[in-house]
């Protein structure tokens, strides 16, 4: 049974799949204090949060069993994703579940701001009839600057165009082509500041975006600009905004999010042209069900070792890509295990080559699988697909990917080369149609080895009788040989034998084999035969 803890208010209806699943127990502790969460988190395999729970490094370090932190929403700025990655915990979110709700809230805020709706409602409901006081402005023919043209920014654009606004977009990923497709003008931040009548923010909160709306930016804005922030509080320097509002440079602000929620910078609410909502962008019945369904499905995928679609700290894989890649993932893990066992020590350089059909595939997950396979040999189960690259970096190691377009031979091919102080190991492998994964190259030898659990790798002199003697020793010791591959570079020179065995061999048998005349090296190699997307249990790094 996997225990999932929910610490914010998440839709019960959206969590139905988790409730109904025989492998999960779901517990709710909404509003749990940080120190209490730290005390109990060790008991849980999964954590579901919205934006209120701060999943800090401290809490993550106390989470001995946690495999997934699921954000029932978009922004993960309340989660220390780096700390989770280091510990091998997957962070997932629901990237599209609340897009429309956040978009509609942005439009609602822009219209409320332009027509003073909250202020007029307050006045009229107190029996006043102040028509002149609440005269507004139209959106029609006004310029809207959108900062962040991702999912929400794009949806806001479409709706703003229905109001016949001119839209300027600023986003490092906005191309001219996409801008023209959306019918907007690609702009710089300065152009947005100088030309916009309304500015709306739709970027994540990160180091680079913190206080992007600051005193300097506000000084460049058109006098009378109106600012809408339904993304993240920290994007706007609230003190600078307060000043610009007081000076009249900014004619109004509509804020759904704040720097220190639930606090609102003193002074803002005293201004008649500031309207606020308490972080309601995603708070609709529909969005809350969608985000909870998304994270429930993702949690089930993770614990059932299926493709993950929405991980923040793992490569994303579509179901289709996953189906095609799964045989390669097993083969990659086996290649890594072979390579590291043959190298016998930690590598100083790792090279991976992809060729043939693999050139068409997204190989990020395969690369991680190979790196994980290499590192697990020395670091054990602390390594998983989430932290493999991070741990590699921590070891001061790098890897190099080659994509060999001129490769001829197998229809698909992957090769791993490991290097350590002049020593080199090369393992080539391919998925052969109708036969499955095969090791097809072992250092300088062309081979055809089915990667099975127990292999015996023998280096010897190419002298008559060697194969027979090895067979007899194994037979005498009740060890059945499944397959045998031999290879040599030249007659009488060095040769190799690779045997697949039904069971591993004892030290005594190894010593007997090593004692044969002409024997150079005998090594047992152990391979996994089933791909495991996540190994469990996770242990503390």
Ligand X SMILES: O=C(O)C(=O)COP(=O)(O)O
Residues annotated catalytic, as ranges: 232, 261, 279
Q: Which residue is nearest to ligand X (CB)?
A: 73
Question: Which does residue 242 touch among ligand X, ligand NAI, none (CB within 5 to 8 A, set by kind)?
Answer: none
Q: Is 45 helix (H, G, I), strand (E, B) or coil?
A: coil
Buried b (16+ CB within 10 A) or exposed e, 436-471: ebbbbbbeebebebebbbbbbbbebebeeebeebbe
Query: Per CB under 6 A, does 282 bind ligand X?
Result: yes
275 belongs to the binding site for ligand NAI (CB under 6 A): no
Kindly state whether residue 208 participates in binding ligand NAI, applying the rule CB under 6 A.
yes
Considering only residues 145, 153, 347, 437, which one is a binding residue for ligand NAI as defined by CB under 6 A?
A: 153
Confirm or reject binding of residue 118 to ligand X (CB under 6 A). Answer: no
58 SS3 class = helix
Residues 177-206 that bind ligand NAI (CB under 6 A): 202-205
Contact 230, 256 (CB under 8 A): yes
CA distance 440 to 285: 56
- Total residues contacting ligand X by CB under 6 A comes to 11
Ranked by CB distance to ligand NAI, the top (closest) residue is 150
- What is d(CA 175, CA 517) in angstroms, rounded to the nearest whole number? 69
Which of ligand X, ligand NAI, none does 170 bind, CB closer than 5 to 8 A by kind?
ligand NAI
Q: Binders of ligand NAI among 133-152, rule CB under 6 A?
A: 147-152
Contact between 386 and 92 under an 8 Å Cβ cutoff? The reply is no
- Say whether residue 74 binds ligand X (CB under 6 A): yes
Q: Is 78 in the site for ligand NAI (CB under 6 A)?
A: no
* Rounded distance between C-alpha atoms, residue 391 and residue 397, angstroms: 9
CA 263/CA 422 separation, integer angstroms: 61
List the interface residues with ligand NAI, window 321-380 (CB under 6 A).
Answer: none
Q: Which residues, including other chains, have CB under 8 Å from residue 539's CB and lie 6 or more apart?
A: 64, 380, 381, 382
Query: Residue 8 CB: number of other CB atoms within 10 A?
Result: 19
Regarding 50 and contact with ligand X (CB under 6 A), the answer is yes
Contact call for residue 173 and ligand NAI (CB under 6 A): yes
Tell me which of ligand NAI, ligand X, none is bound by residue 334, counting a contact when its beta carbon lies within the kind-specific cut-off of 5 to 8 angstroms: none
Question: Which of the choices ligand NAI, ligand X, none does residue 256 contact, using the CB cut-off of 5 to 8 A by kind?
Answer: ligand NAI
**Contact assessment for residue 428 and residue 474, using Cβ atoms and an 8 Å cutoff:** no
Query: Is-cis flag, bond preceding 537, omega within 30?
Result: yes
Which of ligand NAI, ligand X, none binds 173 (CB below 5-8 Å, type-dependent)? Answer: ligand NAI
Secondary-structure percent of the chain, ordered helix, strand, coil, rounded to 5 = 35, 25, 40
Answer with the entry of ligand X, ligand NAI, none that 50 interacts with (C-beta below 5 to 8 A by kind).
ligand X
Would you tell me how many other CB atoms lie within 10 Å of the CB of residue 292? Answer: 27
Of 18, 48, 70, 73, the one binding ligand X by CB under 6 A: 73
Query: Which residue in 17, 51, 52 sits closest to 33, CA to CA?
Result: 52
Minimum distance of ligand NAI from residue 182's CB (angstroms)? 12
Q: For 88-124, give the DSSP string.
A: T-EEEE-TTTTHHHHHHHHHHHHHHHHHTHHHHHHHH
By CB under 6 A, tell whether 279 contacts ligand NAI: yes
Residue that has been written with the tokens 């008649």 in this structure: 272
Q: Does 51 bind ligand X (CB under 6 A)?
A: yes
Per rule CB under 6 A, is residue 75 in the interface with ligand X? yes
Binding to ligand NAI by residue 225, rule CB under 6 A? no
User: Residue 204 CB, nearest distance to ligand X (Å)?
Assistant: 8
Q: 99 touches which of ligand X, ligand NAI, none (CB within 5 to 8 A by kind)?
A: ligand NAI
Peptide bond into 262 cis (omega under 30): yes
C-beta closer to ligand NAI: residue 172 or 537: 172
- Buried/exposed 247-263: b ≥16 CB within 10 Å, e otherwise: eebbbbbbbbbbbeeee
- Span 235-264, contacts to ligand NAI by CB under 6 A: 256-257
Q: Which range binds ligand X by CB under 6 A, 66-74, 132-140, 384-392, 530-538? A: 66-74
155 touches 148 (CB < 8 A): no
Q: Is 112 in the site for ligand NAI (CB under 6 A)?
A: no
430 binds, among ligand X, ligand NAI, none (CB under 5 to 8 A by kind): none
Count of residues engaged in binding ligand NAI, rule: CB under 6 A: 30
Binding positions for ligand X, rule: CB under 6 A: 50-51, 72-75, 98, 279, 281-283
Binding positions for ligand NAI, rule: CB under 6 A: 74-75, 98-99, 102, 147-153, 170-173, 202-205, 208-209, 230-232, 256-257, 279, 281-282
């Amino acid at each position: 049974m996997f225990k999932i803890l929910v610490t914010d208010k998440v839709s019960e209806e959206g969590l139905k799949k988790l409730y109904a699943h025989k492998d999960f127990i779901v517990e709710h502790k909404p509003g749990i204090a940080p120190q209490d969460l730290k005390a109990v988190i060790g008991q849980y395999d999964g954590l579901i949060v919205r934006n209120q729970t701060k999943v800090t490094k401290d809490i993550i370090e106390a989470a001995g069993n946690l495999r997934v932190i699921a954000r029932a929403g978009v922004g993960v700025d309340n989660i220390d994703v780096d700390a989770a990655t280091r510990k091998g915990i997957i962070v997932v979110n629901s990237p599209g579940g609340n897009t429309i709700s956040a978009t509609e809230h942005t439009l609602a805020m822009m219209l409320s701001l332009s027509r003073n709706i909250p202020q007029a409602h307050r006045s009229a409901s107190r029996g006043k009839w102040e028509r002149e006081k609440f005269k507004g402005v139209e959106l029609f023919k006004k310029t809207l600057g959108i900062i962040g043209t991702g999912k929400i920014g794009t949806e806001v654009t479409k709706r703003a165009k229905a109001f016949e606004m001119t839209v300027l977009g600023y986003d490092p990923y906005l191309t001219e082509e996409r801008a023209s497709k959306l019918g907007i003008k690609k702009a710089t931040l300065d152009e947005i500041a100088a030309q916009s009548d309304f500015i709306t923010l739709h970027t994540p909160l990160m180091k680079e975006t913190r206080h992007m709306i600051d005193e300097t930016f506000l000084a460049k804005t058109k006098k009378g600009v109106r600012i809408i922030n339904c993304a993240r509080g920290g994007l706007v320097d609230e003190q600078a905004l307060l000043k610009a509002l007081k000076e009249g440079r900014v004619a109004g602000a509509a804020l759904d999010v704040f720097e220190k929620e639930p606090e609102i910078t003193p002074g803002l609410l005293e201004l008649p042209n500031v309207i606020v909502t308490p972080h309601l962008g995603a708070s609709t019945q529909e969005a809350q069900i969608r985000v909870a369904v998304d994270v429930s499905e993702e949690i089930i995928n993770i614990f059932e070792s299926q493709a993950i679609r929405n991980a923040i700290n793992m490569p994303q894989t579509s179901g289709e890509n996953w189906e095609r890649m799964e045989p390669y993932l097993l083969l990659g893990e086996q290649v890594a295990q072979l390579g590291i066992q043959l190298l016998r020590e930690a590598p100083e350089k790792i090279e991976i080559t992809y060729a043939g059909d693999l050139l068409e595939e997204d190989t990020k997950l395969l690369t991680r699988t190979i790196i994980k396979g290499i590192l697990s040999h020395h670091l054990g189960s602390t390594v998983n697909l989430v932290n493999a690259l991070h741990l590699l970096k921590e070891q001061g190691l790098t890897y190099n990917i080659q994509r060999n377009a001129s490769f001829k031979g197998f229809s698909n091919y992957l090769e791993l080369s490991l290097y350590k102080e002049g020593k080199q190991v090369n393992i080539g492998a391919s998925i052969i149609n109708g036969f499955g994964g095969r090791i097809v190259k072992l250092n300088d030898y062309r081979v055809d080895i089915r990667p099975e659990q127990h292999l015996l790798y023998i280096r010897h002199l190419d002298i008559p009788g060697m194969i027979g003697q090895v067979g007899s020793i194994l037979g005498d010791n009740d060890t059945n040989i499944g397959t045998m591959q031999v290879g040599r570079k030249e007659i009488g020179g060095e040769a190799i034998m690779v045997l697949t065995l039904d069971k591993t061999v004892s030290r005594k048998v190894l010593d007997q084999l090593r004692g044969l005349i002409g024997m150079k090296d005998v090594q047992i190699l152990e391979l996994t035969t089933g791909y495991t997307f996540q190994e469990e249990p996770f242990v503390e790094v």
